[in-house]
Structure formats: structure tokens, C-alpha cells
Amino acid sequence: MASVEFLRTDRLTRQYGGLTAVKDVNFSLRNDRIHAIIGPNGAGKTTLVNLISGREKPTSGSIIYKGEDISQQSSAKRVQAGIVYTFQVTSIFRNLSCYENVALSVQRSLKATQRKFFMVSESVIANHVSKSLGSVGLSGKENQTAGTLPYGHQKLLEVAMSLAAAPELLILDEPTQGLAQAEIENLIALILEITKSVNVLLIEHNMAVVFSLAEYVTVMNSGTIMAEGTPSEIENNHEVQDLYLGN
């Protein structure tokens, strides 16, 4: 795969009253590597991906996705364009079955790819739903109410919903938060599988996860990018060491 920059931000800024959460950030994503953003709490990681996914609008600056300025597009438009965000705190339809949860995502992406004006038939949807659930290891849970799943499975369901949206850029916001060690290992394997076909942007606190997955790391602090590089470069960066060890 040729290395192509497909998303970049240009002096992206987001202010909340007097607080600048993201400040003049020039950030770029390439299609040939798993990219992770790390940084202490309040560094602006989540705000940055919220800006990219369209959940928040920038105060100034722009976001260029595949050559097009998407800064003012609605979040729904961006999902349609392939930027899919997976929530830090799981956000699923708790009262609906797992089937319905994934079907909601499937029916939109299918309708878009098949360019159908009318809705896609239910049997085609059912087929894709069971594939999506299978890919995250939730086969057979179709009829279970999503809210009754164990937390780790809810996270997986959320990933299944995101994958079913046919993403080109999948943003995973702290996917391992609240998971047990065994579940984390499963998830790492799953993410490695996903990255074969989808670009992944990872936000993560767990350094072990970052260093086992990421091929490129951006370190944020106080709303700005502090350092960027390969995992080993970051590990040996004195500033980053100071930031994390508090020297």
C-alpha cells in the first residue's frame, strides 16, 4: 500500500470559554500505520478526535479529509464519508437486542454502498449482522438485549457497530478502559485484524496496549502536540519521559 496522507488538521483550535482544549494543532494521518495518541488527562486527546469525528465544531482551523475541508460537516455526514468514532464510554442501544444494534449500522452502510434509494432487504441485513457479530466474537448473541451483556461484550458490540458502518478511519477512544487483562488481549488481536482493512486511530492510556499496537505515536500535552514518532523514538524521548514520570 502506498503511503498517503488522508487526513490532516490545519491549526485546529477548540476553546471552551477561557480554556483552550486544543491549540493550533497540525496533525496528520497516513494510511499505512496504526496511529495512537497518548497524553495525560486533559491533554486534549478526546477533544481532538471529537473535532475530527464532528461531535464538536472547531473554534478555528480546519480539517482536511481526502483533500476536502470537512470542518463544517455534520457528524452524520462524516460517518457517511467513512470517519467512524467508537465511544470511550460505551454508547449502545441498551434496550434493543444485539441484532438491532448492529442492524442499525449495517442498513445505513449497505444502503450507501448499494446506492439504493429504497431500504435494503432484511435478509441481506441479517446476513451482514451475523458476520459483524461473528467478527468480534459475539455470534449467537443476536437476540440478547444489549444492556444485559457483560461490559466487555458491550465494548465488543460497539466495535461491531462501528465496523458495520464500513469505516475508512476507525477512531477507537480508550477501547481497553474498564476491561480485564484477558479481554484486553482479545481486543488487541481484534484490532490487529481490523487494521488489515481499516485505518485505525487509537487513543489509549494503557502503554502496554499502545506499544503492542501502534506504529506511530503522537504525544499531546496541554492541547498541543508535544512529540511524534515511532514507539521506540517516543520511549526514548526525554520530554515524554518527564511528562509521564513527573520529573
Partner 1 sequence: MKRKSLIYSLFMKGGVILILFLIQFILPTYHHSSFSKIMILASYAIAYNFLLGYTGLMSLGHAMFFASGMYTMGLSILYLGFTPLEGLIFGTILTLTISIVFGLFALRTSGVSFLIVTLMFGQTLYLAILYYNEFTFGQDGFSITTYLGTLVIFGKEHLYSNPTIRYNFALIMLAVYLIITTIIILSPIGRILIAIRENEARTQLLGYNVFSYKLFALTFSGTLAGISGAMHALLFSYIGTTFAEIHHSISPLLWTLLGGAGTVIGPLLGTGVMYYLIDFISGITSNYLLVVGIILVLTIIWFPLGIMGTLRQRWIKWLP
Give the binding site for partner 1 (CB under 8 A).
53, 55, 74-76, 79-80, 84-85, 87, 91-96, 99-100, 103-105, 107-109, 112, 119-120, 122, 125-126, 142-143, 161, 165
By beta-carbon proximity to partner 1, the closer residue of 109 and 221 is 109
Shortest Cβ 20–partner 1 spacing (Å): 25
What does R_g of the chain's alpha carbons equal in angstroms?
Answer: 18
CB of 117 to partner 1, least distance (A): 13
Nearer to partner 1, 50 or 71 (CB): 50
Minimum CB distance to partner 1 smaller for 157 or for 213: 157
- Shortest Å distance, C-beta 70 to partner 1: 14
**Reduced to 3 states, what is the DSSP secondary structure of residue 23?**
strand
CA dist., res. 37 & res. 48, Å (int): 10
Q: For residues 201 and 215, is the Cβ–Cβ distance under 8 A?
A: no
By beta-carbon proximity to partner 1, the closer residue of 174 and 217 is 174
What beta strand segments (E) does 75-188 contain?
83-86, 169-173
CB of 108 to partner 1, least distance (A): 5
Rank residues 65 and 216 by Cβ distance to partner 1 and give the closer one: 65
Residue (80 or 195) nearer to partner 1, CB: 80
Q: β-strands 60-65, 68-69: how paired?
A: antiparallel
Alpha-carbon distance of 56 to 77, in angstroms, equals 13
Which CB, 30 or 55, lies closer to partner 1? 55
CB of 177 to partner 1, least distance (A): 18
Q: How far is the CB of 196 from partner 1 (least distance, A)?
A: 23
Does an H or E element contain 201, and which?
strand 199-203
Q: How far apart are the first and last CA of the chain?
A: 41
CB of 219 to partner 1, least distance (A): 27
